[in-house]
Amino acid sequence: MATQRKSTGVKNLDSIRKIIARHKRHDFLFASLGTLVIASLTITLLILFLDLVIDGYPQFTLDFFTNFPSRHAARAGILSAWVGSSLVLIVTFLVAVPLGVAAGIYLEEYAKKNWFSDLIEINVSNLAGVPSIIYGLLALGLFVYSFGLGQSILTAGLTLALLMLPIVIVSTREAIRAIPVHIREAAYAVGATKWQVCHNHVIQYSYGGILTGVIIGMARAIGETAPVITIGALTFIAFLPPSPIGLEPPFINFEWLKAGFTVLPIQMFNWISRPQHAFHINAAATGAVIIMLTLVMNGFAIKLRYNIRKKIKW
Amino acid sequence: MVKNITTSKIKHNEIVKAESKNLNFFYADGTQALKNVNLPVYENKITALIGPSGCGKSTFLRSFNRMHDLYPGNRYEGQIILHPDNTNILLPGVDPIEVRMRISMVFQKPNPFPKSVYENVAYGLRVRGESNKRTLDEKVEEALKGASLWSEVKDRLQDLAFNLSGGQQQRLCIARALATEPEIMLFDEPTSALDPIATMNIEELMSELKQKLSILIVTHNMQQAARISDYTAYMYLGELVEYDATNQIFTNPSKKETEDYITGKFG
């Protein structure tokens, strides 16, 4: 009797182990598929990047960053392009971040939940997926012609801000939603008003997530070409906009907002469309610079998110 | 306050601090969570709410600081009268923030803010516009002493509150609720996430706190209700089944349902 019992027990154990082994095969299958996909994506990006670096290698000199574009490929640089990109991004940042964060907080904390807020929500998500050329055409009609802002840094900054706005709004809302209900209730329970809850808690705890969204949005804006071409950015520019900071009072001027400009991806586009091979080297070098900038920004965003998550655990 | 006693009902020579009158509550989806609840909360006493899960005891508790107002569509009917000023705190004209400034709450799970120990306790005062460093220091110390936490945290006031143990975090939340000198303190199963020793500390603390204020507590733990409360209310399916002095309820309940629940035959 006892031996029989023991043997059935062992039999059961065998069948349990078989089931586990079969199920584990599914784990293995999925994990290897995932690894394969990730690896092929990473390798593709790496090859593209290395290709650009190898092609553009002769141009990686300090001169390349301090020279204006030139008819002589070897002397041409990206000074006006990176200065232009930086100034445009400053405008984009100053417009998109306050607007986007405020909109996100409003939608999440203040707006009543009804069909209208649902409609806004769907539209904001949709805006993130609208092709950038559409934003360019909108900006051309609105900023350049209707508002008369011209083909300026201000116009480009506002256009890219439109593009970045949905990303900032969505990431702000996600970050706010991650704050647990019981923390929010704790703040209300001591008698805080909505604004006090937003100001003392919601914004402070969602700061990391919001910043991550902002950086990812900026990284997207830096590489955008189509909308900037549409509003008429210059492709060959051998001067810098007036400096935003002066040595004489009032030290800050806004002339640069009205200046013509170019940006990195347009400079690259311009060079790649030339027949001479020498310019293609410049284009490759510029491409490598853009990818580097994007990688650095995204890496910074990830690091930031990691640090803040480590500090605030719910 | 003595003058106003005449306006408050007196029973067993005790002062009614607040009372619910024909209180009904409806959630946004239309379910009625409270049915005609009439219940007094006596001053300087602990009133415990017991009953099986989903009986509406937490819903009842959260009506006292208008927590339901945070979510759209919830609806109250009836009154909760706060004495001695006879304010019906459920009236739409009464600002829920005013109610929360008079009636504070401690939650089921310790929920300190991800800020320093000091800032957690000071927050209620800051919300009230207090910014004088000396006043804040004094009141924070007083509240932490009141929550018997001062000796444990006095050297680490600037530490993050999350670094405290679960029991300490809950006492910190009590200090936070205490700092603003509330008239009533609500406890929503304050020890359900804590170990027995931390639970004992909190129970002792509540017995001390009732010298200063009135306490309404929801608990799943019947022994806890028997140990600490002066009055006990048994609720079932949104209705108040029986309410009496705790001794009476636990030794000689007048209703069969109450007896079944207390003796463990049901629930």
- ipTM for the predicted complex comes to 0.89
pLDDT of residue A7: 55
Interface of B with A in 87-116 (CB under 8 A): 97-98, 100-101, 104-105, 107, 109, 111-114
Examine residue B267 and state whether it is found in any structural domain, yes or no.
Answer: no
Could you tell me the CATH number of the domain that includes residue B20? 3.40.50.300
Name the domain count of chain B: 1
Examine residue B103 and state whether it is found in any structural domain, yes or no.
Answer: yes
Encode pLDDT of B135-189 as tens digits. Answer: 999 999 999 999 989 999 999 999 999 999 999 999 999 999 999 999 999 999 9
Q: Are B78 and B21 in contact (CB under 8 A)?
A: yes
CA distance A115 to chain B (A): 14
Distances (CA, A) of B20 to A71, B41, B64, B87, B236: 86, 9, 9, 12, 17
Q: Of the ranges A166-175, A244-253, B148-157, which one carries the lowest mean pLDDT score?
A: A244-253
Identify the CATH assignment for A60-311 out of 1.10.150.130, 3.40.50.300, 3.40.50.2000, 1.10.3720.10.
Answer: 1.10.3720.10
Is A308 in CB contact (< 8 Å) with chain B? no
* Contact state of A196 with B127 under an 8 Å Cβ cutoff: yes
3 state DSSP class of A289 = helix
pLDDT of residue A234: 74
Query: Across-strand partners of B232?
Result: B48, B244
Distances (CA, A) of B96 to A192, B21, B93, B121: 10, 18, 9, 21
Its domain, for residue B113, covers 2-262
Of A112, A191, A313, the CB nearest to B124: A191
Burial A181-196 (b: 16+ CB within 10 A, else e): eebbbbbbbbbbeeeb
Q: What does the mean pLDDT of chain A come to? A: 86
What mean pLDDT do residues B186-203 have? Answer: 91
pLDDT of residue B176: 95
* Contact state of B180 with A112 under an 8 Å Cβ cutoff: no
pTM of the predicted model as reported, rounded to 2 decimal places: 0.80
Encode pLDDT of B49-67 as tens digits. Answer: 999 988 999 999 999 999 9
